[in-house]
Structure formats: structure tokens, C-alpha cells
Amino acid sequence: MSDYSYETVRLSQSGVVARVTLHRPDIRNAFNDTMIGELRHLFAVLRQEAELRVVVLTGAGSSFCAGADINWMRKMLAYSYEENLEDSMALADLMREIYEFPRPVIGRINGPAIGGGTGLVAVCDIAVAVETAVFSFSEVKIGLVPACISPYVIRKVGERHAREFFLTGERLRAAKARSCGLVNQVVPPEELDEEVGRYVDTLVSSGPCALSTCKQMIRDVPLMDLERAGPYTADMIARQRVSDEGQEGMSAFLQRRRPSWWIESESEEDSWVDESSGTFHDD
């Protein structure tokens, strides 16, 4: 992986898994224009890493992300409309770039996620939060709105929950964030890395191109009527079947072996094809 130095974020890699850490622990990883720019650059770099399979996004210290940096907000008071628009577009572009990133992104939510920090949770494909995490769309409390993050939050939790959360600005405990679909799992702090690792292990046993295509399918299909969705999805599976990955995956299935992309963790128990049913079993 290319060597870049960042002021507000950290990047590390172990095998096919990259870890992106928001690194402003003294101010609970609040973001500003510098962090937004560095995250955009970092994810652009990761996009070019052919061997990369999964990205884990987390925060340094005891917080995930406290939202906008107060000093950055002070600067906004003097911004013109044009300057505010440019500033806001950078944040909107960052959210879209993470949401559309071609590999799975797991949110390791190690503490509070407030405002735009909750938006970062929403653009992750899978989010695992500690029991002590809290979430809030608090923008209305200071006369603003959660605009740039709203497309992703609404997709994740639905309009009913978004109306409640956006309008009240209430703080959500981790259990409620899970019940509405904002996060996938809630665990004690000491189990956070184990649960994130379980998702990583599951993802690296699947076809990399298939995962990327699944992400595209999940984004696109809900926006289509059935007349468009039929040909679109038929073309998608046909292309996947004739691809090198699809050919390898189907051959491995029929030959009762693991495909070439499979990476087994040390803790993973055996998986096999049931000879009577022709299906995979994971125990």
C-alpha cells in the first residue's frame, strides 16, 4: 500500500483488511474540512488497492466521532453562501464515496457518534457498536439540519424513524440504534474486536467481485420499477456467472472444495458441501 501521511486520520493494513481510524482523540474525533479532505483522499487510495477486501472504520480513544469541530463551525459563521455550498459539497461527496466504496466497509463504533458522526455510521455496510455508544442527529438544536447525511440515514432507518430522530434531536442509546437498523450489533466493549473480526472473517470467505456487485445491486434495485429491475438483475447474474470469479466459485461448489479467494481465520471451524443436498454448511 502507498505510504501517505495524514494529520487527522490513520491507516493501517493487515493482509487484505485495511483499518481507517479517525484520529483526533483530544476532541473526540470531531471532523473539520481537513479530516473530510483526508478521508476522501484515503478512500480514493484504497479504491486502487486491488488486493483489498474489507475496510474497518473506527475512532481513536473512547469516541467514534463527535460530529463537527467547534472551531470549524466558528469559521462557518463568516462564510458566504458560495463558501458554505463548497464546504457542504465536500462532506456530501465524502458520504457518497464511502457509501459507494466497492469493498465492504465495517463500522467499528467504539463510542459516541454525534451529528455527522452518525452519518459515517449510516454509510457503513455493517456497523458494530459498543453498549455505551450513543447516537444523535442534534443539528436542529443549533438551528441546522442533518442535510448531507440524510440520504443515507433515511435509507438505513426509514422515514418513520428519521422523522423522529431528525426532528427531536434526541440521543439514542445503542439498543435503540440497533432496533431501528442504524447498527447491526451491540456488544460489550471487551467483545467489540471479536465481533468485528467475525464479520471480517465472513466477508473474506466470499467472492470479492460478488460482494462489490451486491453493493451495487442493493443501491440500484430499490430505485427501479419491476420492468427495469428484471432485465437489470438478469444481466447482472449472467455477467457474474461467466466471469472468472463466478466460474471459479461454481466449479469449487461442484467439486466440493473451497474457492481460490477463501481466506480462513485461525478460529474458523470447518465448512463443507453436504453431499446429499449439494449445499454449503457452516458450523
Query: Per-residue pLDDT tens for 27-43?
Result: 999 999 999 999 999 99
- CATH number of the CATH domain containing 219: 1.10.12.10
Q: Which of 184, 203, 222 is the last residue of a domain?
A: 203
Same domain as 138, residue 239: no
- Mean pLDDT value across residues 210-234: 97
Give tens-digit pLDDT for 62-108: 999 999 999 999 999 999 999 999 999 999 999 999 999 999 999 99
Same domain as 54, residue 22: yes
Same domain as 212, residue 199: no
Cβ contact 165:143 at 8 Å: no
- Mean pLDDT value across residues 157-169: 97
- Give the predicted TM-score (pTM) of the model: 0.92
The predicted pLDDT at position 159 comes to: 97
Give me the long-range contacts of 187-194 (CB less than 8 A, separation at least 24).
187/128, 187/129, 187/130, 187/131, 188/130, 188/131, 189/110, 189/130, 189/131, 189/132, 192/108, 192/110, 192/128, 192/130, 193/108
Residue 153 CB neighbours (<10 A): 22
Q: State the cell numbers at 129.
A: 457498536
- CATH number of the CATH domain containing 27: 3.90.226.10
Is residue 226 in a domain? yes
**In 3D, which of 172, 170, 164 has the Cα closest to residue 133?**
172
Is residue 281 in a domain? no
Q: Which of 203, 232, 255 is the last residue of a domain?
A: 203
The predicted pLDDT at position 164 comes to: 97
Q: Which of 203, 220, 249 is the last residue of a domain?
A: 203
| pLDDT exceeds 60 at position 282 | no
Query: What total number of domains does the chain contain?
Result: 2
The predicted pLDDT at position 173 comes to: 97
Active site residues: 139
- List the domain range (segments joined by +) for residue 216: 208-269
